[in-house]
Amino acid sequence: MDTAKNQRILTLVWAPSETRTANYARQLNSPLYFIHYLLYKRPWIAPFKYLLQAAKTFQVLFKNRPRVVYVTNPPVFAPLCVLVYCKLTGAQFVMDTHPPSLYADRWRWSVPLQRFVSRFAMMNVTDQERFKALFESWGAKALVLENPPKTPQFNAVKNEEHADRFKVAVVNTFAVDEPLDIILEAAKKLPDAHFYITGDKGLAKPGVIENAPDNVSFTGYLRGDDYWNLLNNARAVMVLTTYPYSLLGGAQDSVSLHVPIILSDQPVLREYFTSGTVFVENTTEGIVQGVRHMIENEEQLKREVTELRQIHRDKWEHNFQQLLTLIEAVK
């Protein structure tokens, strides 16, 4: 028997990379396919690349013929393709939905499609109780799985640059919900701190990088060791959002490294990050006060974030076992 073409489970995501899905694929001992063509996050070419990605998805699925497919949403067309495959073969699928697809303006048009697809999934995975309740109100099955605290494996390199300043790593992607402008204004008022801001510099608005204060460095988009070393060398990690229900992966990565966090004061973040965290208003003065509070209470916050990591590790292992049991029951 050709076992390569009779895999029990297969994981796929329509993106060039995606940390959450990659981690779950490892936990599930599943082959992982990143299916993506053309430019990333460019809405005007989406119809063209979605056609290419749909064709590739069907090729991968019918070649490997998995009994269970773990698929990430958005975009909703990825699980739609998986649904078609499952209807034709009798396979089943798990849809892992990232919450912004349920409330962000750019995905609002797709919510009816998500509701439709979710009812056919053997399980819908989301990272918050409020969205689990939403799926269940649609008549779909749902399970809460937050991102688990990671144990990142990387070649640690000490960065002695700006050793006399309080280093803040800002996990940023130049997305619409990230208030970068107020971070730059706050940096001007915090000369004793240095801010390392991530993200593809090609996505920055004109003049943002050129006019940034001297205590700000734009790192570009970081992966692997470069990303983990940035966070590991920081004395605090900052991740801000204007979305009320976005559970920020960069903040969870910081917990994995026992580095305290500065976060926007949003409902879901308060629920998850119950210690080791400074919450700030999305204002210049709010950030300034938050960084100063972090500097003054650094040691206590470091102890707290270590305890927080273990709490979420225990919770995640319990919930993940429920998903694993469900998948293993598929014949």
Query: Is the pLDDT score of 211 beyond 70?
Result: yes
269/273 Cα distance (integer angstroms): 6
Cα angle value 147/151/156 (rounded, 5°): 130
The closest alpha carbon to 58, from 21, 24, 25, 33, belongs to 33
Q: Which of 21, 72, 77 is nearest to 53 (CA)?
A: 77
Residues sharing a CB contact under 8 Å with residue 122, sequence separation 6 or more, in sequence order: 68, 92, 93, 94, 141, 326, 330
Give me the mean pLDDT over the 226-230 stretch.
96
pLDDT at 158: 85
Averaged pLDDT, 87-104: 92
pLDDT reading at 280 higher than 80:
yes
Global pTM? 0.70
On the question of pLDDT at 1 being above 60, the answer is no
Which range has the worst mean pLDDT, 38-47, 113-122, 239-248, 308-317?
38-47
Closest to 237 (Cα-Cα) out of 166, 148, 306, 297 = 166
Mean pLDDT over 3-15 rounds to 75
How many Å apart are CA 98 and CA 133, to the nearest integer? 15
Range of lowest pLDDT (81-85, 153-157, 211-215, 223-227): 153-157
Grade residue 160 by pLDDT with cuts at 50, 70 and 90: confident
Mapping DSSP to helix (H, G, I), strand (E, B) and coil, where does residue 242 land?
A: coil
> What are the DSSP E strand ranges found in the chain?
9-13, 32-34, 68-73, 92-97, 123-126, 142-144, 166-170, 193-198, 216-220, 236-239, 261-264, 277-280
Is residue 104 scored above 90 in pLDDT?
no
Among 82-91, 189-198, 316-325, the least confident range? 316-325
Pairing of strands 216-220, 277-280: unpaired
What is the predicted pLDDT for the residue at 4? 39
User: Average pLDDT, stretch 124-148?
Assistant: 92
Angstrom CA distances, 328 to 1, 20, 276, 322, stand at: 21, 21, 37, 10
Going by pLDDT thresholds of 50, 70 and 90, the confidence category of residue 16 is confident
Instruction: Spell out the domains of the chain, with CATH numbers in brackets.
Output: 3-145 (3.40.50.2000), 166-310 (3.40.50.2000)
